[in-house]
A and B are shown apart, each in its own frame.
Chain A
Amino acid sequence: MPKVKMPRSSPSLDMTPMVDLAFLLVTFFILTASFRNPEPVQVLTPSSTSSKLMPENSVLITISNDGRVYYNVNGFDVRKNVLQRMAKKYKIDFTAKEIEEFGKMSSIGVSMQNLAKYINTEPGMREKFPSSGIPYDSINNQLKDWIQYGWIEGATKYKEIKETAEALGKQPSIEPLRFAIKADGNANYIVVKEVIKTFTDLKIYRFNLLTNFEQGPEE
């Protein structure tokens, strides 16, 4: 009996379309990805039906469930200038390298006295740094100064960008500065109230409270 010969097909198949697609996706993800800065604390925000987006250009105050307060402001230059102002006010010297490093960081939750130590901690070890939160009591209200300087620098930066954009006849690339509070659902109301009082003392009355989106009832 003669053997039945199977038609032999080549084991290598044409992968071009798949590779094309893979590269397309890679390009897409690279261009759209925005990296989340590592946060010093885990905060579980309560949910609401509000669907407004978080403002991109903001002074953000994070409140953890045990009542510690963290501060963050966007923008490398803004952060550096804010730190320089704070250093002047509290008469603490920072090296140029420390200021540079601070510009790259995200939320901080330490007092001015411990800030240099915190900056000099390796990025991977910062999570373990004993951060007690930024003092916000009336005697030693460092939070107020942080917010105020963040406000001044953030507003200046926005004005600059807006003016250069208008000179070129374009839309400014960033939004005006907003103030946001990201508090844990289980945070005590007293702490939130104190933070809000710090804001209202500075004559800031509009905030964005960060929440998780939750589907509301049918319209």
Chain B
Amino acid sequence: MAELNSDSGAAGHGKKGKKRAKKQSTRVDMTPMVDLAFLLLTFFVLTSTFSKPKTMEITFPVPPENPTKQNTTLVNGYTFILTGENKVFWYQGEFKEVPKNGKPATTLTEVKFGEDLNKFLLDKNDLVVKFIKDLKKKRISKQIDDTTYKTLAIEAKAKKEAPFFVIKADDKAVYRNLIDLIDEFNICNIGKYAVTDITIGELNLLKQSIK
């Protein structure tokens, strides 16, 4: 059949006496290329990760040159002790195993993570929190620019009157508690804090408090 047709076609052309070149289509089949493009697209969409992990910067205290001369009295400050089962205890000021100078021995108080802790810290750090709130208002009303805000905020956090916070943990504490506590400090504009080792006296007191 085909031959017949082509014969007749040839005959048809023959009548006019001209041989025309067959017109080739300019279209190329792009389907395989597009398939590949979409395959690659799907692959990259699924494998790429956009969010880089976030970090929290922390600076540890440089140990003193001669530890014997170390001044360990913590006058305007609070010590937090982390322990197992997500519990955290605190005491104020210097640690006293027995009553000293007419002041009672240290007792530990428990504070719950979350709202309780947040309220506690905001209350104790009242001075700085108020000051920073003020600064924020000034920044919003464009009285100060961003860089001065930052330097002023850092200065405010390092104020002499601001309380100092110490974090200690026993061997039952988990890492998450530490991060939660430091995070809460950051939220409550606490700039003065340090992570140190727990003492034997504190460990004993902690054992009694848990019971």
Which chain A residues have a beta carbon within 8 Å of chain B's beta carbons? 15, 19, 22-23, 25-26, 29-30, 32-36, 45-55, 63, 180, 182-190, 192-193, 196, 199-200, 205-213, 216-217, 219
Task: Find out whether the CB atom of A219 lies under 8 angstroms from the CB atom of B136.
Answer: yes
| B residues 31-83 touching A (CB-CB < 8 Å) | 33-34, 37-38, 40-41, 44-45, 47-49, 51-63, 82
List residues of chain A with CB within 8 A of the CB of B63: 200
Report which of B48, B61, B183 forms a contact with A50, defined as CB distance below 8 A.
B183
Task: Find out whether the CB atom of A196 lies under 8 angstroms from the CB atom of B175.
Answer: no
| B residues 150-208 touching A (CB-CB < 8 Å) | 169, 171, 173-180, 182-183, 186-187, 195, 197
List residues of chain B with CB within 8 A of the CB of A30: 40, 44
Task: Find out whether the CB atom of A209 lies under 8 angstroms from the CB atom of B58.
Answer: yes
A189 and B198 CA atoms in complex are apart in Å by 12
Q: Is B30 an interface residue (CB 8 A)?
A: yes
Asked if A45 meets B44 with Cβ closer than 8 Å, knowing A186-B176, A189-B175, the reply is no
Task: Find out whether the CB atom of A184 lies under 8 angstroms from the CB atom of B53.
Answer: no
List residues of chain B with CB within 8 A of the CB of A200: 60, 63
Task: Find out whether the CB atom of A48 lies under 8 angstroms from the CB atom of B175.
Answer: no
Kindly report which residue of chain A lies nearest to residue B43, judged by CB atoms.
A29
A43 CB, min distance to chain B CBs, angstroms? 10
B88 CB, min distance to chain A CBs, angstroms? 12
A183 and B177 CA atoms in complex are apart in Å by 12
Kindly report which residue of chain A lies nearest to residue B118, judged by CB atoms.
A217
Task: Find out whether the CB atom of A50 lies under 8 angstroms from the CB atom of B178.
Answer: no
Task: Find out whether the CB atom of A19 lies under 8 angstroms from the CB atom of B136.
Answer: no
Asked if A50 meets B54 with Cβ closer than 8 Å, knowing A36-B49, A189-B169, the reply is yes
Task: Find out whether the CB atom of B40 lies under 8 angstroms from the CB atom of A26.
Answer: yes
Kindly report which residue of chain A lies nearest to residue B30, judged by CB atoms.
A19
Asked if A50 meets B186 with Cβ closer than 8 Å, knowing A36-B49, A183-B175, A211-B56, the reply is yes
Asked if A212 meets B54 with Cβ closer than 8 Å, knowing A26-B37, A185-B174, the reply is yes
Task: Find out whether the CB atom of A189 lies under 8 angstroms from the CB atom of B171.
Answer: yes
A187 and B173 CA atoms in complex are apart in Å by 9
List residues of chain A with CB within 8 A of the CB of B176: 46, 185-186
Contact size range, B: 35 or more
A172 and B40 CA atoms in complex are apart in Å by 33
A80 and B55 CA atoms in complex are apart in Å by 27
Asked if A216 meets B187 with Cβ closer than 8 Å, knowing A26-B41, A189-B174, A211-B179, the reply is yes
A182 CB, min distance to chain B CBs, angstroms? 8
B39 CB, min distance to chain A CBs, angstroms? 9
Asked if A205 meets B175 with Cβ closer than 8 Å, knowing A22-B38, A219-B136, the reply is no
A199 and B61 CA atoms in complex are apart in Å by 12
Asked if A186 meets B175 with Cβ closer than 8 Å, knowing A53-B55, A212-B54, the reply is yes
Asked if A206 meets B174 with Cβ closer than 8 Å, knowing A15-B34, A46-B180, the reply is no
List residues of chain B with CB within 8 A of the CB of A183: 175
Task: Find out whether the CB atom of B52 lies under 8 angstroms from the CB atom of A48.
Answer: no
- Per-residue CB proximity of B86-123 to A under 8 Å, as 1/0? 00000000000000000000000000000000000000
Task: Find out whether the CB atom of B60 lies under 8 angstroms from the CB atom of A205.
Answer: yes
List residues of chain A with CB within 8 A of the CB of B53: 45, 53-54, 182, 210-212
List residues of chain A with CB within 8 A of the CB of B136: 219
A209 and B55 CA atoms in complex are apart in Å by 5
Kindly report which residue of chain B lies nearest to residue A196, judged by CB atoms.
B60
